[in-house]
Amino acid sequence: MFSNFMKALEQKYEQMVEIRRYLHQYPELSFKEYQTAAYIRSFYERRGIAVQANVGGNGLVAVIEGKKPGKTVALRADFDALPIQDEKDVPYKSTVPGVMHACGHDGHTATLLSLAEVFYDMREHLHGNIVCIHQHAEEYAPGGAKEMIEAGCLEGVDAIFGTHLWATVPTGVIQYRTGPIMAAADRFEITIKGSGGHGAQPHKTKDSIVIASQLVMNLQQIVSRRVNPIDSAVVTVGSFVAENAFNVIADSAKLVGTVRTFNEEVRTQIEDEIERVIKGTCLAADADYEYVYTRGYPPVVNHPEETDFLIDTAKGIEGVIAVEETEPHMGGEDFAYYLQHVKGTFFFTGAKAPEVTNAYPHHHPRFNFDEKAMLIAAKVLGTAAWTYLEKNQPIEESVTTNN
């Protein structure tokens, strides 16, 4: 029966491509994915699959109930796009100015929709239930996962699996990691309040640009000199704004940046250390400041048992050429919230075509991925869910099946 499941997935490949390319042409930004949500809802309703819309916002949850008793497994796909101009020269290029799927979420959605359809067609043989979580707003904190969880998308779920198509890793490679695999992603804003004046009379001012420049350099000492070298951390200033006329010393300067950590104690330490450095820098320059630290997604921490299960499952799948442990990634993902409530694992599915030498990274205007990776992702997710339900079916049912 399972061989039929895999054949059915293979027959859905062209559909995956069609869905992915449609979504790629009509991307929507985080929290504004109204048409995308409508498309997903329509897909399920046309096939008679129960689906709930507006879950925690624009999210959707489709439930496929197996005809045999058992556990419940959740699979998740995100569907928001990014504020980036699509610069690819392809027939399915984004039609929305300044918005594109530059991270693969269109592929995630196409994968899960097709996978859900196969599960539904084979529900007579399914030991338990499949919950398909279509999540909005992964790209922009506070994200959609937390809202969907609060709305009840994980009620009754025993395990959850998720993947991210990874365009810089060869197609066919599955990357996993037990424990932290992606970092907590926080944001900080610092406004230096000096005293402006004429550019020819700096001695009568408190130059916010000079103070902020010193602060940028001083912040680099937090990771190099205050954080234990055993712990990974990043403090990055990504924006420095102090617009003014060329001959005017600015009253204020604003810095915006991000902090990435895996350890909660280190996360708190850096939040405090940043203010300590700001305070010292401004005290030396007799300036004031404002400091806002916003905690984003927590780290994605995979559960050991489910990760080991995923590794064993992926190794025997056609199309998978390697299953390898990856280093932790400093990128953030709100799949972290699901793993705080339910056991499960999050992994990467390689999506770099063999003929591609240097793939454009995620969030790049020319980002693209090998669409064959969607089928591999579907097979790995589908096999994980199917096998998990088979192995955890009720004892009475298991005995009957084995006989």
Helix axes 105-121, 2-11, angle to 10 degrees: 130
Pick the catalytic residue from 28, 80, 86, 334: 80
Partners of 173 in the β-ladder: 322
Q: Which of 47, 78, 52 is nearest to 63 (CA)?
A: 52
Contact 113, 43 (CB under 8 A): yes
Q: Which of 73, 144, 138 is nearest to 342 (CA)?
A: 73
Cα(319)–Cα(377) distance, integer angstroms: 10
Q: Which two tokens stand for residue 321?
A: 């050429």
- Is 312 noted as a catalytic residue in this protein? no
Angle (nearest 5°) at CA 354 between 349 and 360: 70
- Is 264 noted as a catalytic residue in this protein? no
DSSP 336: H
Pick the catalytic residue from 33, 86, 106, 138: 138
Task: Give the three-class secondary structure for 372.
Answer: helix
Q: Work out whether the CA dihedral 316, 320, 324, 329 comes out positive or negative.
A: negative
Matching residue, tokens 């504020």: 83
DSSP 81: B
Contact 208, 251 (CB under 8 A): yes
Q: Which of 136, 106, 81, 82 is nearest to 20 (CA)?
A: 106
The 10 Å CB-count burial string (b at 16+, else e) for 32-69 is: ebeebbebbbebbeeeebebebebbbbbbbbbbebebe
> Who's near 298: CB < 8 A, 6+ residues apart?
184, 264, 336, 337, 340
Q: Which two tokens stand for residue 70?
A: 């058992």
Q: Where are the beta strands (DSSP E) in 7-92?
A: 51-55, 59-65, 68-78
Q: Work out whether the CA dihedral 177, 154, 34, 52 comes out positive or negative.
A: positive
The residues that are catalytic are 80, 138
